[in-house]
Amino acid sequence: MLTTCLQLLVALIIVAIRFYRSYEDDDEVGRSEKDKNAPRSELHIWKSYSHPDLYGQLARIALIAQDSVQSHQIARDLAQEGYEIHHTTDIDAMLETVQTRPFDWDFMIFDLDLFDDLESRVDELISFRENCAKTPVLLLSGSVSKDDLSDHRRAIGDATLRKPVFRNRLLAAVNAIRTN
C-alpha cells in the first residue's frame, strides 16, 4: 500500500513538472508573438552569463542568437564549463564590439536562423572573418542536415551545429573549433 502511494506521488510530481515546463514554453511563445509587433529597438537584448563559483579571467564568448530557451541553455551550459558568455540579438553591436578588441574574445557563436536576410548577414560574417581571422566562429542553424565540425564553411565559420543543440554536441563543437 505504501509503495503504491509513493509511486502515485512520484507520478503526480512528474506530471506537475511537465505542466510547469509546458506553461513556461507557452508563455515564451506568447512573449515572442508580442515582440513581433514591438519596435525594432526594443527587440535587442544583451545578457551576460558566468559561473558564480569561478573567479579570475574567464574565457569570453560572444553569442549572437534569438532570445529563446535554446540560447539560454547554450549560455548556461558554457557558463558551467567556465566561460563568460555575452548573449545578444543585435548583430551589429556584437560584431563591432568583438572587432574593436578581438583579443578579449575567445570565440563567437552565431545563429544563422536569427535573421530573415541571410545573404547580407553572410556578407557581414565574411567581412568579420577578414578583420578577425583568429577569432573562431561556431555557426548554429536549423536548416543544415547534420553537424559539420570540419572547416567546410571556413569563409564564415569554423564549425556548424544543427539546432536544437545539446550539451555534448556543443562541447564537442567548441573543442573542434579551438583545434581547427
Dump the DSSP string for 4-57: HHHHHHHHHHHHHHHHHHHHHHHHHHHHHHHHHTS-HHHH--EEEE--TT--S-
pLDDT confidence of residue 144: 86
Report the C-alpha gap between 79 and 35 in whole angstroms.
27
- Read off the DSSP letter of residue 158: S
pLDDT confidence of residue 58: 75
List of residues 6+ apart from 117 with CB closer than 8 A: none
pLDDT confidence of residue 179: 79
pLDDT confidence of residue 23: 54
Question: Tens digit of pLDDT per residue, the chain (180 long)?
Answer: 888 888 888 888 887 777 666 655 554 545 554 454 444 445 688 888 887 666 666 789 999 999 999 999 999 999 999 899 999 999 889 999 999 999 999 999 999 988 777 787 788 889 999 999 899 999 999 888 898 887 667 788 889 999 999 999 999 999 988 876
pLDDT confidence of residue 15: 79
Cell triple for 47: 545578457
Report the C-alpha gap between 101 and 164 in whole angstroms.
30
Cell triple for 140: 548554429
Report the C-alpha gap between 71 and 76 in whole angstroms.
9
Cell triple for 115: 535573421
Closest residue by Cα to residue 112 from 50, 165, 34: 165
Cell triple for 45: 537584448
Amino acid in position 3: T
Amino acid in position 54: L
pLDDT confidence of residue 38: 45
Report the C-alpha gap between 65 and 88 in whole angstroms.
6
Report the C-alpha gap between 43 and 89 in whole angstroms.
8
In which residue are the cell numbers 569561478 written?
Answer: 54
